[in-house]
Amino acid sequence: MGERTEYKHGTFSWTDLTTTDQETAKKFYGELFGWETTDNEVGEGVYYTMAELDGKAVAAISPQPEQQRDAGVPPTWNSYITVDSADDALKRAKELGAEVHADAFDVMDVGRMGVIQDPQGAFFLVWEPKAHIGASVVNTAGALAWNELATPDLDASAEFYSELFGWETEQIEGMEMPYRVIKRQDGASNGGMRPTQENEPPYWLVYFGADDIEGKVKQATEREANTIVPPTDIGMGQIAVLQDPQGAVFALFAGQFDE
């Protein structure tokens, strides 16, 4: 288990789900991961549900914005990246050819954020922490464990994120599909990148830790989730990709976690 009290610039630090059925999603993920949830009112009749493991924040669930629903955007697990300045990150992203979908704004006293679509089409969010650093625990069963970009242009994506966050990417040799591990400036692993597959859109896939991946897949499918990738051995562990009952895609990892 990796407990966190801060995150360095350019580090994945939080994830939340925007969904069409918040109550059903709370029950589904609460049972799947053992989360305890607390509803926080953020507007009239609108709640941001915090999920915790042993009293430590790991993720959140919120209603999908009406404009996304009207546009046909599916429910989505969002990837947040910590930055020193949300305003500076958005400005630089624009300079690098990205589209800013939400200019930097304050989230009460907990942080400042913005929404970016990278030049290849994948969405992500930047987070300038204040009272809320992000996840208090990662890299354990039921918590954020990995973030993976599916992109139609590996080289272009690697260059964009390198320029924006100072990341480097390292090719894993011997794999049938090209795969690059993201490295922060301090050398720590910070997610991965792979090519999009047939009919797959560009997006950041969120992985949660699992102690028994086959059991979790069985449990999820019994609760009306779909299996996109069944439990698969990747050498360092097992992965699986699922789609929850509302349509949000997420992944599981079982194996040796980073600290």
Q: Identify the band that residue 258 occupies on the pLDDT scale cut at 50, 70 and 90.
A: confident
DSSP 112: E
* 35 Cβ neighbours under 8 A, 6+ residues apart: 29, 51, 52, 53, 58, 59, 142
CB 167 within 8 A of CB 10: yes
pLDDT in tens, 197-227: 999 999 999 999 999 999 999 999 999 999 9
DSSP 95: H
* Ordered DSSP codes for 19-85: ES-HHHHHHHHHHHH--EEEEEEEETTEEEEEEEETTEEEEEEEEPPHHHHHTTPPPEEEEEEE-S-
Range of the domain at 19: 1-259
pLDDT at position 52 is 97
pLDDT at position 249 is 98
pLDDT at position 236 is 83
Average pLDDT for the chain: 94
Section 180-187 average pLDDT: 90
Strand, coil or helix: 230: strand
pLDDT at position 173 is 82
- pLDDT exceeds cutoff 80 at 54: yes
- pLDDT exceeds cutoff 80 at 85: yes
pLDDT in tens, 21-44: 999 999 999 999 999 999 999 888
CA-closest candidate to residue 240, choices 221, 258, 214: 214
pLDDT at position 77 is 98
How far apart (Å, rounded) are the C-alpha atoms in residues 182 and 165? 11
The model carries a pTM of: 0.96
pLDDT in tens, 9-23: 999 999 999 999 999
More confident residue, 73 or 252: 252
- pLDDT exceeds cutoff 90 at 163: yes
Q: How many domains does the chain have?
A: 1
Section 121-138 average pLDDT: 97
Instruction: Give the number of C-alpha atoms closer than 13 A to the C-alpha of residue 179, restricted to the C-beta side.
Output: 12
pLDDT at position 177 is 85
- pLDDT exceeds cutoff 70 at 120: yes
Instruction: Kindly report the CATH number assigned to the domain that includes residue 193.
Output: 3.10.180.10
180 exposure class (CB count in 10 Å sphere: 0-12, 13-18, 19+): buried
Strand, coil or helix: 161: helix
Question: What sign does the dihedral 163-165-170-171 (CA atoms) show?
Answer: negative
pLDDT at position 243 is 98
CA-closest candidate to residue 35, choices 53, 10, 12: 53
